[in-house]
Amino acid sequence: MSDNNNTNQQWGGRFSEPVDAFVARFTASIQFDQRLYRHDIAGSVAHAKMLNKCNLLTDKELADIIAGLEAIRQEIEQGQFEWSIELEDIHMNIEARLTEKIGIAGKKLHTGRSRNDQVATDIRLWLRDEIDTISGELTRLEQGLSVLAEQESQTIMPGFTHLQTAQPVTFGHHLRAWREMLLRDAERLQDCRKRVNVCPLGAAALAGTTYPIDREYTAELLGFDRPAANSLDAVSDRDFAIEFCSVSALIMTHLSRMSEELVLWTSAQFDFVELPDRFCTGSSIMPQKKNPDVPELVRGKTGRVNGHLMALLTLMKGQPLAYNKDNQEDKEPLFDAVDTVRDSLRAFADMVPHIRSRKENMRSAAMKGFATATDLADYLVKKGMPFRDAHEVVGKAVAYGVNSGKDLSQMTLEELQQFSATITDDVFEVLTLEGSVGARQHVGGAGEYLKIG
């Protein structure tokens, strides 16, 4: 990365002195927007083809531009391209190199466009590709959860509210709840993609261009659904980046909730599941430790994505139309949000299919905390007792169980009948864990996939 004390930007005709070297570094974005090179080149190729179609470039100039841009792409990918801070950004670096390689035709490439619509196009092209990659990781994780949920459909565990034992469910049912979160995430991501897939090229600096361009053709070449409808909005809109970060924050929040449960469940106090060794680490001092580092890191990384969302909202809240230099600050939060959510999903998609349940521990835990208390209340209601009266009866039975150290299913019929004569020996069919879960075999219920008998 070169950095000269005296800068000579391609826009410098208006200025009587070079930009200060520190200011050049301070205002440059090439340090981080290099990752847009493929999309910048793709946008330039499409723009050049459109200029040729509109008779603004000759066939020879078009061929030279395309060949030059392809050579530059190869230079970048082979690590042979020299990036210059004095040229500020990815766009000026590539354009300067193109002019160096092919001469005056390179200077004609910028006809009918501005860096304002160019960068907006680059970001949308890049983000569209990243959304497709992230969608693939979401699908992979969702499918992994589906397979694991099917395997664990008969594994009974306690369901919790307030992290206290509430009612028995199956591990498969719990995993399907995780899957529902991801399905909503996938829908939101695809909906976000629709608003990303709009082409700003042709908006130029802010008002459009006087050249006879064909914006529909450019949009078609780049696979966009349509051109942006308003030139002012096209160059200043960053809603799509904010929306993506919002979707990402929800994805990370869901992964964080899953992570929290995995961290709890792998502890010695729960011991519900085991994670593969390759997704865990040990301790430098305590040889017995197996730390769930992947879930812990994902839980921690959620905060940075939430922060990126707040950063972009704050970035845009006070900006007048149209483009402002503030918008250079959109890239690093967006880039990091993409990297973080993509890598977190990949880690989970790799890890989840290899989670192993400790079925006996789950079942034993479900026997604690009077998980079938609601079933006893429902039993009494079905016998004709008002629910509030049934609630009180079961509450007294639970209090007795606390004092005697017995679960409801462990009490004798005589012990249960001291709280209500309505209780008969058929009560034990509903006080078992299988009976409790199996009674909820409706759509979406905990027993929907439980096999009875």
Domain limits for position 87: 18-110
- In this structure, are 133 and 160 located in the same domain? yes
What pLDDT does 4 receive?
44
Domain end marker among 326, 343, 363: 363
- In this structure, are 220 and 97 located in the same domain? no
- In this structure, are 101 and 134 located in the same domain? no
Between the alpha carbon of residue 137 and those of residues 29, 247, 258, 338, the distances in Å are: 29, 15, 16, 12
- In this structure, are 333 and 308 located in the same domain? yes
What pLDDT does 65 receive?
98
Q: Please indicate whether residue 283 is annotated as part of the active site.
A: yes
| Options 236, 246, 259, 283, the catalytic residue | 283
Residue 82: CATH number of its domain:
1.10.275.10
Residue range 354-363: average pLDDT?
Answer: 97
What pLDDT does 19 receive?
79
The two three-digit tokens of residue 125, written as one number: 């092209």
Q: Does residue 6 fall inside a structural domain? A: no
Q: Does residue 452 fall inside a structural domain? A: no
- For the stretch 16-55, pLDDT in tens is 677 788 888 888 899 999 999 999 999 999 999 999 999 9
Q: Does residue 439 fall inside a structural domain? A: no
- For the stretch 308-328, pLDDT in tens is 999 999 999 999 999 999 999
pLDDT at 8 over 80: no
- For the stretch 55-94, pLDDT in tens is 999 999 999 999 999 999 999 999 999 999 999 999 999 9
- In this structure, are 193 and 48 located in the same domain? no
- For the stretch 396-407, pLDDT in tens is 999 999 999 999
Q: Does residue 444 fall inside a structural domain? A: no
What pLDDT does 10 receive?
57
Q: Please indicate whether residue 442 is annotated as part of the active site.
A: no
Residue range 433-439: average pLDDT?
Answer: 92
Residue range 414-437: average pLDDT?
Answer: 94
140-165 CB burial, b ≥16 within 10 A, e <16:
bbbebbeebbebbbebbbbbbeeeeb
Q: Does residue 55 fall inside a structural domain? A: yes
- In this structure, are 174 and 288 located in the same domain? yes
What pLDDT does 1 receive?
66
Say how many domains are in the chain.
3
The two three-digit tokens of residue 13, written as one number: 């005709």
| Options 162, 174, 256, 259, the catalytic residue | 162
User: Mean of the per-residue pLDDT values for the chain?
Assistant: 94
31 sits in which H/E element: helix 30-33
What is the percent of the chain with per-residue pLDDT over 70, rounded to a whole number? 96
Q: Does residue 425 fall inside a structural domain? A: yes
